[in-house]
Structure 1
Amino acid sequence: MSEHTPRDDAPQAGPSTGPGTPDPAPAPPPGYPVAAPMSPQEEKTWGMASHGIALAATVLSAGTLGFVAALVIYLVVKDRGPFVRAHTANALNVQIIVGIVLLVSFPLMLVLVGFVTYPAACVFAVVVHILGMVKASNGEWWDPPLTPKFVR
């Protein structure tokens, strides 16, 4: 054996060997698999569904459950593609602003103004979600009017 060839049983120099050096940590167990990206058609479908389901929940609950529906859809499919993320975020942003207006409308009902703002917010949600469904089905990127981007 040559002087310059290391032996197989000789300790190798390196950061993890030597006296007093702890063994490297074991690899963590595998987690949940990452969801595969969606096809463009699936992204359009989910973009449309995010607006449609939030719309249905808003109409059926007099404006109160649209936020929950939009939030659930956003959390489930937001990482599956940029188009679906944009449309689910838009649906959630619409529901956040509508929720704020609805909360403000309750005390305003004492001075009768809330009886105008509450249905106006619900009509706004219906119109914007229908526009969002049409834009998503056409594959168009779109930002809803009068809606700040709380969620991106």
Structure 2
Amino acid sequence: METNYYTLKRTDNQLLALTHLSQLLTCFTGFGGLIVPLIIWATQKDNVEGLDIHGKSIINFQLSIVVYSVLSIPLILLFGLGILTFIFIGILAFVMPIINTIKASNGELPSYPLSFNFIS
């Protein structure tokens, strides 16, 4: 007799929201905005419904923020465009996690603009 094991994923919108909100650690501590969501995603993606999609979106967004920040450094020498880019990146990195936290708590899918797909 063959035994089938089914893993049931639980619905946990609070963990999804917390994962999005944990990105703000970078704004307050200087680090952790990539590490904490990565750990939550890696450990819970098989247990929580939708965490795989949310986690990939968060990791892609955080990696995109790093790429944009690194590319902005040489732009500082070009008429100060890098400073404006840094300001835009900072606003985007603060506002988008809050918007997607609200979306996640309502059961909606995340959307991060200008995000590269490093993990698909």
Tell me the amino acid that sits aligned with residue 89 of structure 1: K
1:82 Cα deviation from its structure 2 partner: 4.0
Among 91, 94, 101, which residue is 2:68 paired with? 101
> In structure 2, the residue corresponding to 1:110 is in which secondary structure?
coil
Aligned length: 113
Which blocks of at least 5 consecutive residues in structure 2 are unaligned?
1-6
User: For 1:94-120, what per-residue CA distance to the aligned partner results, in whole angstroms no more than 9, with x for missing partners?
Assistant: 101111111112222223221111121
Q: Residues 104 and 84 (structure 1 numbering): CA distance in 2 closer, same or farther, change over 3 Å? A: same
**Larger Rg over CA atoms:** 1
Deviation beyond 3 Å, 4+ runs, structure 1: none
Per the normalisation by structure 2, the TM-score is 0.80
Q: Residues 115 and 61 (structure 1 numbering): CA distance in 2 closer, same or farther, change over 3 Å? A: farther
The residue correspondences of 1:18-37 to structure 2 (distance < 5 A) are: 37=8
Partner of 2:81: 113
Partner of 1:136: 104
Partners of 2:119 and 2:33 in 1: CA distance: 15
Partners of 2:117 and 2:14 in 1: CA distance: 22
Partner of 1:19: none
1:146 Cα deviation from its structure 2 partner: 2.2
Contact 1:67/1:99 (8 A) holds in 2 = no
> In structure 2, the residue corresponding to 1:99 is in which secondary structure?
helix
More helix by share: 2
User: For 1:106-137, what per-residue CA distance to the aligned partner results, in whole angstroms no more than 9, with x for missing partners?
Assistant: 22222322111112112111111111101100
1:37 Cα deviation from its structure 2 partner: 4.7
**Percentage of pairs with the same residue:** 26
Which blocks of at least 5 consecutive residues in structure 1 are unaligned?
1-35
Per the normalisation by structure 1, the TM-score is 0.65
* Greater relative CO (CA pairs within 8 A, separation 6+): 2
